[in-house]
Amino acid sequence: MKARVHVMLKTGVLDPQGEAVRHALGAMGFDGVKGVRQGKVIELELADGTSEADVATMCEKLLANTVIESYTVEMV
């Protein structure tokens, strides 16, 4: 079994990389992009029986820094 964890900077935390990507898209002629937020996707291969709660604990302890980041867990 697998889990996919999405980690994003929280709303209100400046994302200078996303902002740079937005600028680049604008410079390339993509006018409709009002904002870009860049995050990361972490895929975990898990032993059978690992629960979503276990993955959430991994997120709290290591995969995300909840001071600045939020996360969502998707069991796949």
Partner 1 sequence: MHAAVVVFPGSNCDRDLSVAFEAAGARVSMVWHKDTDLPEGVDIVGIPGGFSFGDYLRCGAIAANSPICKAVIAHADRGGYVMGVCNGFQVLTETGLLPGALLRNAGLKYICKTVGLRVETSNSAFTEGYNAGDVINIPIAHHDGNYFADDATIKLLQDKDRIAFTYTDNPNGAKADIAGILSENRRVMGMMPHPERAADAGHGGTDGQALFRALMGALTVA
Of 48, 50, 51, 56, the closest CA to residue 5 belongs to 56
Q: Which one of residues 30, 33, 52, 65 is an interface residue with partner 1 (CB under 8 A)?
A: 65
Which range in 24-32, 48-56, 61-69 contacts partner 1 by CB under 8 A? 61-69
Q: Are strands 40-45 and 69-75 parallel, antiparallel or unpaired?
A: unpaired
Residue 34 Cβ vs partner 1, minimum distance, rounded to whole Å: 20
Q: Are 70 and 8 in contact (CB under 8 A)?
A: yes
Nearer to partner 1, 2 or 40 (CB): 40
- The CA distances from residue 41 to 3, 28, 71, in Å, are 10, 26, 10
Instruction: Rule CB under 8 A: say whether 75 interacts with partner 1.
Output: no
Q: Give residues in contact with partner 1 (CB under 8 A).
A: 13-14, 16-17, 20, 61-63, 65, 67-68
